[in-house]
Structure 1
Amino acid sequence: MKRSLPLALLLTLPVFAAAAPPDGFEQRVESLRKEIGVPGMSIAIVEGDKVVFAQGFGVRKLGSPEKVDADTLFDTGSTGKAMTVADLAILVDQGKIGWDDKVIDRLPGFQMYDAWVTREMTIRDLLVHRSGLGLGAGDLMFVPRTNLSRAESVKRLRYIKPATSFRSGFAYDNVLYMVAGQLIEAVTGETWEHFTVEHLFKPAGMLHAVADPESHFADPNRAWPHARMNGGLRGAGDQQVLDERDELGRNAAPAGGLSISANDLSRWLRIQLAGGKLVDSDAHLFSEAAQKEMWKPMVLQPVAPRPDSLKATQPLFDTYALGWDVRDYRGAKIIWHGGAVFGELTAVVLLPDKKVGFSITINSEDGEIINGLMFELLDHYLGAPGNDWPAKFRDFKKQRVAEGLKAYNAKAATPVKVGPSLALAHYVGTYNDPWYGNIDVGLAKGKLTIDFKSTPRMRGALDHWQYDSFVTRFDDKTIEPAYVTFAINADGKVERVTMKPVSPLADFSYDYQDLSFTPVETKK
């Protein structure tokens, strides 16, 4: 029989959950990994200040024998936004910046499309997706790769038209985290990469984590990206190894360009649960006051309805804080963020009231295993009845892919056999979009071609679709195909080129619909 404690003492003790992992968790994960077809993954679980699970599963690369372990580097995508925020928190603690400082006061030359927004935007505004930019606006400046510098990308933001008014609502973006990275360099004289390694990773003891591609590729213990590419649409078919060069452009690294292992993520989780206190030290990476700011909900996110099978996972509220999502699940507060780069996915999850945190990383795009295990672990720590969430998320994904293929195939069968209006040579030329840059439309062997000049290896043929619309399926098959439409003026000349994704399931970062190219006048 346990000895009872005085009520006053009980009220001051942290609330710890039952020992983790759940019974048979290791076998459960490996079974799901094989069933779903995920090449490799890693998981870290912490309770309070203790790491109770840190392990790898499967292989780093299909066709190779090297196993994933707890030190294998995975690209962690947008979970790195919270670390860019932590960089800023360190500067706030040092008195070098304030969360509500105007960006233009800290980053001279910063400019948005609207002059009033430029004057009013604060550092906090950069981090909470309420700028008025549309979903994923400007992502083609770094997706899937780029030759643009971070400074040049930030300079081009002034040409991206807003979709809504400033601070009126939520629309997820990456480009303003590029601004945050550039601001850190302006304030400190250190690149975001150097600052993150020297002032965050090293003090935190995250000694395998890296912030630049060169360090990532230099580590042999790294995961390779994989995706399902041969089933008609991305997300359908068999798993294929992707080219490692298909990572996001380094200009956008402050939005999600970190590579981190399970062991290092376990230290990050412990620091978060300890209010910024370093592992095995009385020192702090950032103050408790800074962490409260980071976790403070700032913007309401719309809650998308989920099917009946997943209804219990639908939050009553969903908000965005500084680099973190804050929502509810079964009456508990969840602090979390997902991360995605092409070929790898991550989730970092905190149950602060239970002093529990965990991370899940995979080297494929099979998000159903991350979502499924995330809610299984949440149920375990919240004492909720068991539920086969991975199976339900898998069924939901299968349905979405099937519906997407049906819609795609229906559209592919119905183009109008009219056009093009002009001889192909009249479409040839260089066209410019102010924020993206140039495309070249050429003519080779009787077919039009397209080449995106700010994106290495993004080129392909233009096959006539209908009227003055063409479809390009890029030579690099990992890039989402697009419809390319030429608008012809009264003089029979091309005056504008617009685009949209072919796939109804295309990732929002392929923001073709935001492009508007006009002819570049050539000197005679």
Structure 2
Amino acid sequence: MGRGSATALVGAATAAALLCGCGGPAAAPPGAATAALQTTTPHSRATATPQATPSAQATPSAAPPAQPPPALGPAAVAAAVSGLDGIARDVMRRTGVPGMAVTVVYRDRVAYLKGFGVRRAGSPGAVGPDTVFQLASVSKPLATTVVARAVGQRAGGSRAVGWDDPVVRHDPGFALKDPWVTRHVTLADLFSHRSGLPDHAGDLLEDLGYGRRHILERLRDEPLGPFRARYAYTNFGFTEAALAVARARGLSWEELSRTLLYEPLGMRSTSSSFAAYARAPDRAALHVRVDGHWEARHVRDPQAQSPAGGAGSTARDLGAWLRLQLAGGVYAGRRLIERSALDRTYLPHILSAPPTAPYGRPGFYGLGWNVTYDDLGRLQLGHSGAFRLGAATNVTMLPSEGLGIVVLTNGEPVGAAEAVALTFLDVARHGRPTVDWLRLAGAAFAAMERDERPATDYGRPPAHAAPARPARAYTGGYANGHYGPLTVAQEGGGLVMRLGPKPLRLPLRHYAGDTFAYLTPGENSVGLDGVRFIMGADGRAAKVTVAGLDHTGLGTFTRRPSS
């Protein structure tokens, strides 16, 4: 998704993770489900970490112990599973998403495993249980499963890594803007998006074509918010934490995830390498909607942020991962992950989505998981992933019930994956869908899309706009310490801006006066955005601000003296 939502549908706040069955037969008043959906919006910014008051800490509750909620019995789950074919087909019919794969695990058994539709629109190849999909941000809970195993393992009688280790202990070259934060920020801080880095720091550098090392080094340029007090979703902060763990083990991230998780679980089609996905013969292409139909237009290489959004997997393989999660770190009778290390990932570490209504429910972020609680107080964990360029995925679990579902799709985010998961859980809980989850999730995604658009419609210049100056007033080279060089040249009667290491060629169209517009590139594209030239005393531009790069004040480029 774009700015404010995510390259990989913003983990904090996706419908699947935070819409926790708040419909229910006895449920919420009208609008409650909508309010819950609103709490999933990735734009949410937590302003403080909840803390218990001293009196609350000192005084035990006088209330009797709460009774555990009634379990979801095998009959209820079987009924929900029997309806999954219809749920999936209905969502695909209503959205047109070309392909989908679904797996359900219940009490350490794969209860459902099926593919629907095609891998590529217009081609005959069918989606099956072994079709490889790009997971986008469902890579995050997969990654913290890897790290939980590393944390639980001992080396030389002591733990090689711990969730509360400062990142610099394992990566001495890592730095943020504030030296104190650099010394104190931990792996858990970065895995829970509470480091103070701004929302989606680094993602725009990826869109320009920069590689992993360059992007991680540039995190030190970003202005920091309050440390451990505000949630802001950062793919590259998350990536840095995972790479620090791999460095501590003397491996690449791709090797670490393979040796600690994928191989022990027999996940033969799963990888943290884009190259492995790209060469898989049975793989799902990415699709976007174009004039009401779906097209496979784009390739999305997320290798730079592999731990956060770059894994590829199948419904069958992810069923094995769900079994491991729901069995508390045990797989096929063998303990692979220390229970305490895995449990830490499930705890709320930061408020990610404050309630928007009196009857609303807050959402939290753990370590790679959205954390919330359903109507009966049961822990519900989830994460969605999305590439605006054509993928949407979801995992949702009720650990106390041993129940989890994964939904993979090969279309841009329209709420399809979330709708299948939430409708299934609704039927398991209540015997029927209590709300139209596709309508709610689809509306939430559409709202995110609208909110990300620039306030100015650069496609419609003002009727009486001031003319542009001669081209030479704007052409030349400009420098920026964060985004690198920018050049503006006259080509074919118009101006062209070039940015990035390759670089990208971005034509400029005149808007008004010294302001032009360009089509923003990559996963975070928001359509046309502005380019404003600031003129010097000599009548030539001294600076240029690229609005699409200026979300944290780093988007101004200064003319080079020789240019």
- Compute the TM-score of the two structures, normalised by the length of structure 1: 0.85
- Is the alpha carbon distance of 1:435 and 1:185 closer, same or farther for their aligned partners in structure 2, counting shifts above 3 Å? farther
**Take 1:44 and 1:477, find their aligned partners in 2: how far apart are those partners?**
27
Report the RMSD for the aligned CA atoms in angstroms.
Answer: 3.0
2:318 aligns to what SS in structure 1? helix
Percent identity between the aligned chains?
A: 28
Kept in 1, the 8 Å contact 2:91–2:419? The answer is no
Identify the match of residue 229 of structure 2 among 163, 168, 182.
168
1:367 aligns to what SS in structure 2? coil
**Take 2:483 and 2:556, find their aligned partners in 1: how far apart are those partners?**
9
- Equivalent position of 2:9 in the other structure: none
**Take 1:474 and 1:318, find their aligned partners in 2: how far apart are those partners?**
31
2:373 aligns to what SS in structure 1? strand
Kept in 1, the 8 Å contact 2:150–2:260? The answer is no
Q: Deviations over 1:224-255 (max 9, x none)?
A: 0001244xxxxxx43221232x333x111111
1:178 aligns to what SS in structure 2? helix
2:489 aligns to what SS in structure 1? strand
- Equivalent position of 1:344 in the other structure: 391
Q: How does 1:320-339 map to 2 (within 5 A)?
A: 320-331=365-376, 332-339=378-385
Q: How does 1:9-24 map to 2 (within 5 A)?
A: 16-17=73-74, 18-20=76-78, 21-24=80-83
**Take 1:323 and 1:392, find their aligned partners in 2: how far apart are those partners?**
27
Q: How does 1:357-376 map to 2 (within 5 A)?
A: 357-376=404-423
- Is the alpha carbon distance of 1:110 and 1:395 closer, same or farther for their aligned partners in structure 2, counting shifts above 3 Å? closer
Kept in 1, the 8 Å contact 2:488–2:497? The answer is yes
- Is the alpha carbon distance of 1:446 and 1:512 closer, same or farther for their aligned partners in structure 2, counting shifts above 3 Å? farther
Count of residues in Structure 1 that have an aligned counterpart in Structure 2: 486
Q: How does 1:509-520 map to 2 (within 5 A)?
A: 514-519=553-558
Correspondence 1:47 to 2:106: yes
Identify the match of residue 439 of structure 1 among 468, 473, 486.
486
**Take 1:351 and 1:459, find their aligned partners in 2: how far apart are those partners?**
47
Kept in 2, the 8 Å contact 1:74–1:260? The answer is yes
1:52 aligns to what SS in structure 2? strand
Give 1:156 shift: 1.3
Give the counterpart letter for 1:351 in structure 2. Answer: L
- Equivalent position of 1:295 in the other structure: 346
Q: How does 1:439-458 map to 2 (within 5 A)?
A: 439-454=486-501, 456=502, 458=504
Kept in 2, the 8 Å contact 1:74–1:261? The answer is yes
Give the counterpart letter for 1:470 in structure 2. Answer: F
1:482 aligns to what SS in structure 2? strand
- Is the alpha carbon distance of 1:410 and 1:120 closer, same or farther for their aligned partners in structure 2, counting shifts above 3 Å? closer
- Is the alpha carbon distance of 1:336 and 1:86 closer, same or farther for their aligned partners in structure 2, counting shifts above 3 Å? same
Give the counterpart letter for 2:401 in structure 1. Answer: K
1:19 aligns to what SS in structure 2? helix
Q: How does 1:172-191 map to 2 (within 5 A)?
A: 172-191=233-252
Give 1:391 shift: 4.6
Kept in 2, the 8 Å contact 1:458–1:474? The answer is no
Give 1:426 shift: 2.4
Give the counterpart letter for 1:139 in structure 2. Answer: D
Consecutive unaligned residues of structure 2, counting only runs of 5 or more, are 1-66, 154-158
- Is the alpha carbon distance of 1:123 and 1:406 closer, same or farther for their aligned partners in structure 2, counting shifts above 3 Å? closer
Kept in 1, the 8 Å contact 2:414–2:446? The answer is no
- Equivalent position of 2:13 in the other structure: none
- Equivalent position of 1:108 in the other structure: 172
Q: Deviations over 1:81-111 (max 9, x none)?
A: 1222222222222211121111112101111
Q: Deviations over 1:386-442 (max 9, x none)?
A: 235245236626974997799989774452644456422222223333333233222
Correspondence 1:247 to 2:301: yes
Q: Deviations over 1:362-387 (max 9, x none)?
A: 10014322222222122122226423
Give 1:490 shift: 4.3
- Is the alpha carbon distance of 1:433 and 1:475 closer, same or farther for their aligned partners in structure 2, counting shifts above 3 Å? closer
- Is the alpha carbon distance of 1:277 and 1:50 closer, same or farther for their aligned partners in structure 2, counting shifts above 3 Å? same
Kept in 2, the 8 Å contact 1:499–1:513? The answer is no
Q: Deviations over 1:49-94 (max 9, x none)?
A: 0101011100000111000001101111111112222222222222
Identify the match of residue 209 of structure 2 among 132, 138, 146.
146
Give 1:269 shift: 0.7
1:486 aligns to what SS in structure 2? strand
2:264 aligns to what SS in structure 1? helix
- Is the alpha carbon distance of 1:240 and 1:115 closer, same or farther for their aligned partners in structure 2, counting shifts above 3 Å? same
1:44 aligns to what SS in structure 2? strand
**Take 1:406 and 1:335, find their aligned partners in 2: how far apart are those partners?**
30
- Equivalent position of 1:70 in the other structure: 129
Correspondence 1:82 to 2:141: yes
**Take 1:35 and 1:460, find their aligned partners in 2: how far apart are those partners?**
36
Give the counterpart letter for 2:213 in structure 1. Answer: A
Give the counterpart letter for 2:132 in structure 1. Answer: L
2:258 aligns to what SS in structure 1? helix
- Compute the TM-score of the two structures, normalised by the length of structure 2: 0.79
Query: Taking CA–CA contacts closer than 8 Å with sequence separation of 6 or more, which of the two structures ends up with the larger relative contact order?
Result: 2
Correspondence 1:216 to 2:269: no
- Equivalent position of 2:57 in the other structure: none
Kept in 2, the 8 Å contact 1:350–1:356? The answer is yes
Q: Deviations over 1:269-326 (max 9, x none)?
A: 1111011112x23231x110101111111100123649xxxx9xx9512000000000
**Take 2:305 and 2:448, find their aligned partners in 1: how far apart are those partners?**
29
- Is the alpha carbon distance of 1:252 and 1:93 closer, same or farther for their aligned partners in structure 2, counting shifts above 3 Å? same
Identify the match of residue 485 of structure 1 among 532, 535, 538.
532
Kept in 2, the 8 Å contact 1:79–1:339? The answer is yes
**Take 1:453 and 1:406, find their aligned partners in 2: how far apart are those partners?**
23
- Equivalent position of 1:468 in the other structure: 514
Correspondence 1:96 to 2:160: yes
- Is the alpha carbon distance of 1:478 and 1:336 closer, same or farther for their aligned partners in structure 2, counting shifts above 3 Å? closer
- Equivalent position of 1:396 in the other structure: 443
Kept in 2, the 8 Å contact 1:460–1:473? The answer is yes
